[in-house]
Amino acid sequence: MYQRKIPIDYECGLSVAMEVVGSKWKFCILDEVSKGIKRPKDLVNAINGITKRVLQKQLRELELHGLLEKTIYTEVPLRVEYHLTASGRSLLPLVSAVDQWGMGFSSQLKTILETEE
Amino acid sequence: MYQRKIPIDYECGLSVAMEVVGSKWKFCILDEVSKGIKRPKDLVNAINGITKRVLQKQLRELELHGLLEKTIYTEVPLRVEYHLTASGRSLLPLVSAVDQWGMGFSSQLKTILETEE
DNA sequence: ATGAATGGTGATAAAATTATCACTAAGGGA
DNA sequence: TCCCTTAGTGATAATTTTATCACCATTCAT
């Protein structure tokens, strides 16, 4: 998320986790991939608001961090698929827990933000 | 985290959660408060790398979002304490799950980042 | 009156993330 | 050859988050 000048504290789980999945789209991407959406093109369509370029960068980071793996099929047209690694799968319970917490908190947040204005 | 121009999607739990806790220090702060560190001054000391100003802003947001409540004791010197609301407490299992996942992933991330260079 | 301790804010700079746009590459078909 | 589809990248702008620094307020003790 935000962790370059102040280096990662490998002793702090929160610091490590933030480094790896603390950005706007990571959880969404992992979620969609786990649901079977694996091609970049399909992910762009599935994730509301993301652009091709940003998705590409996030996929690259998830791949570098070892949460996703890429497979290239030499078909026509070219087909590329991303799938979860074991580490990626180990994150799924967290993704769904965060998602569920957010759903439960949604109405409260809505109320708060609408009252503010 | 990054959600002003593209408005929050209240139907998406991940979007809601990111809005509320998707920033560098929120989880750390909730974690420390849950451990009994409640005063701004003590939080600054407890959280490695955070500054007074940034902490203040994060506390204000957590308060606005209804995860923390503030109590002012008119003592000398002035004492202010933040404590978790019910919503804040409902987040604790998540905080600890993220922390534990991060701890488990720490060595892998370390290896990956050191190999890259 | 002065200073120490605590909590807080405003202005601005710095850093990081995300968005936009144009571009390349490979393969195949008309 | 020209175009289509899919995947990917480079350069740069826009946006947001974090960091830094100086400052104010309150209360009490000296």
Domain contains A19: yes
Domain contains A66: yes
What is the distance in angstroms measured between the alpha-carbon CA of B105 and the sugar C1' of D8? 29
Where in the sequence is the domain holding A68, given as residue range(s)?
13-116
Helix (H) or strand (E) holding B84: strand B79-84
CATH of the domain at A36: 1.10.10.10
The rounded distance, in Å, linking the Cα atoms of A9 and A18 is 11
Confidence check: pLDDT of B89 > 70: yes
Domain contains B4: no
A 86-105 residues with CB below 8 A of B?
Answer: 87, 90-91, 93-95, 97-105
Domain contains B76: yes
Q: What is the pLDDT of residue A2?
A: 47
* pLDDT (mean) for A75-83: 92
Domain contains A6: no
- Nearest residue to A59 (alpha-carbon basis) of A74, A41, A35: A41
What is the distance in angstroms measured between the alpha-carbon CA of B52 and the sugar C1' of C5? 15
Confidence check: pLDDT of B113 > 50: yes
Confidence check: pLDDT of A57 > 70: yes
* pLDDT (mean) for A12-39: 94
Q: Is B25 on the interface with A (CB under 8 A)?
A: no
Residue of A nearest to B1 (CA): A24
The rounded distance, in Å, linking the Cα atoms of B31 and B36 is 9
Confidence check: pLDDT of B6 > 70: no
Higher-pLDDT residue of A14 and B7 is: A14
Å between B5 CA and nearest CA of chain A = 11
CB spacing of A13 vs B103 below 8 angstroms: yes
Domain contains A5: no
Q: Which nucleotides of D are covered by protein (CB under 7 A)?
A: 4-11, 15-22, 25-29
Q: What is the pLDDT of residue A59?
A: 97
Pick from B6, B14, B87: CB nearest A31? B14
Q: Is B51 on the interface with A (CB under 8 A)?
A: no
Q: Across chain A, what does the average pLDDT equal?
A: 91
B 67-86 residues with CB below 8 A of A?
Answer: none
CB spacing of A23 vs B1 below 8 angstroms: yes
* pLDDT (mean) for A70-80: 91
DSSP helix/strand/coil, A15? helix
DSSP secondary structure string, B29-63? HHHHHHTT--SHHHHHHHSTT--HHHHHHHHHHHH
Confidence check: pLDDT of B76 > 90: no
User: What total number of domains does chain B contain?
Assistant: 1
Q: Mark out the alpha helices in A8-65 (DSSP H runs).
A: 13-21, 26-34, 40-46, 52-64
Q: What is the pLDDT of residue A7?
A: 73
Domain contains B88: yes
The rounded distance, in Å, linking the Cα atoms of A20 and B1 is 15
The rounded distance, in Å, linking the Cα atoms of A55 and A33 is 12
Domain contains B6: no
* pLDDT (mean) for A53-79: 94
| Chain B residues lying within 8 Å of A116, measured CB to CB | 64
Confidence check: pLDDT of B2 > 70: no
Residue of B nearest to A16 (CA): B102
Q: What is the pLDDT of residue B36?
A: 96
CB spacing of A112 vs B16 below 8 angstroms: no
Confidence check: pLDDT of B45 > 80: yes
Q: What is the pLDDT of residue A77?
A: 87
